[in-house]
């Protein structure tokens, strides 16, 4: 549907090009899934930490004051969504943010939103 096909004409013809470039339903679904994966404040905090450093479960647990099993649960969801990666060194597993455009953009958005809501 184009703006010319809308039931009411509100004189917004200048917006017509914007609607021509509206993301597809599939693209909106991907964005929705990303936001679902970080919709928990603790998971968001863990993701933010892992955008800044590589850490093990025990250290993440100490940083966010949560049990290791709870941290592992959040890490599993973040890893499944492709937002973080892991590597094993002996018995220790280290986690960090995935090196993708999606993760880089998401991290930037989180930092900008935190700055807006928590100015210095």
How does pLDDT run across 10-54, given as a tens digit for each residue?
Answer: 666 666 667 777 888 998 898 898 888 889 999 999 999 999 999
Using DSSP, state whether 95 is helix, strand or coil. strand
DSSP assigned state of 13? G
pLDDT value for 7: 74
For 102, the enclosing helix (H) or strand (E) is helix 101-117
Q: Would you say residue 92 has pLDDT above 90?
A: yes
pLDDT value for 116: 72
Structure-derived torsion over alpha carbons of residues 48, 69, 65, 109, reported in degrees to the nearest 10 = 10
Residue, of 3 and 65, whose pLDDT is higher: 65
pLDDT value for 1: 47
The dihedral of CA 105, 106, 112, 116: what is its sign? positive
Inter-CA distances, 110 with 47, 77, 97, Å: 10, 18, 13
pLDDT value for 49: 96
Q: Would you say residue 3 has pLDDT above 60?
A: no
pLDDT value for 15: 63
Looking at every residue in the chain, the average pLDDT score rounds to 87
């Amino acid at each position: 549907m184009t703006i010319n096909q809308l039931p009411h004409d509100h004189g917004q013809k200048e917006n017509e090009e914007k609607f021509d470039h509206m993301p597809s339903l599939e693209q909106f679904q991907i964005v929705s899934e990303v936001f679902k994966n970080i919709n928990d404040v603790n998971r968001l905090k863990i993701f933010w930490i892992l955008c800044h450093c590589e850490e093990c479960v025990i250290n993440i647990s100490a940083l966010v004051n949560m049990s290791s099993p709870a941290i592992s649960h959040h890490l599993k969801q973040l890893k499944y969504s492709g937002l973080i990666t892991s590597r094993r060194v002996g018995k220790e597993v280290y986690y960090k943010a995935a090196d993708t455009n999606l993760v880089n953009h998401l991290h930037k958005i989180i930092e900008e939103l935190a700055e807006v809501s928590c100015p210095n």
